[in-house]
Amino acid sequence: MVIRSERADEYQAVEDLVYDVFKGTKFSDGFLERELVKEIRSSKNFIPKLSIVAVSDSGQIIGHIMMSKFPLSGKNEDKVLLLSPVSVDPAYQNQGIGMKMIETGLDMAEEMGFLGVIVEGSPRYYGKTGFLNYTEFGLSKAADIPGDYLMAQELVKDGFKGIEGEVDFAIYKCLA
């Protein structure tokens, strides 16, 4: 398996994977996550290097994560990232592929000078890579985001120090 940045000729395969991963879950039909990937790619927040895929030895894309610039209350878009979505082909889940992609992305983001990352998801899962509840960093959130599932991680010591603003996913039409 190889973990690397996604190529433009892989966009459709990634969108198909994202849809397939989320379509059967209890919380999504897959359309939202696929649209999020497309919307991020067409926005100023897209960072091609941080759209990461896991590719099997046979050349099949089996996983994808995306980190994009994420302004808090319209500020700090060059300092904070959003990690979303995280997708692993069900046939390859529970093998650490998602964690490896996230760890690779976090390392790359730190090297690029970003200070912190926001994610909405399972504390049990994301806590394994160092994400903590957003309140640990003095961040606030939009009312419609479940607090237990909103997490953040600093990429450098005190990365969120002095960064203020509200986490609000409504910057993307598909999430509004």
pLDDT tens-digit profile of 113-146?
999 999 999 999 999 999 999 999 989 887 777 7
Q: Residues near 120 by Cβ (< 8 Å), separated by ≥ 6?
A: 84, 145, 146, 149, 150, 151, 169
Q: How confident is the model at residue 70 (pLDDT cuts 50, 70, 90)?
A: very high
Distance CA 11, CA 82 (A): 19
Measuring CA to CA, which residue among 110, 14, 108, 37 is closest to residue 6?
14
Beta 80-88 vs 61-69: how paired, if at all?
antiparallel
Residue at 78: amino acid letter: D
* 97 burial type by CB count under 10 A (0-12 exposed, 13-18 middle, 19+ buried): buried
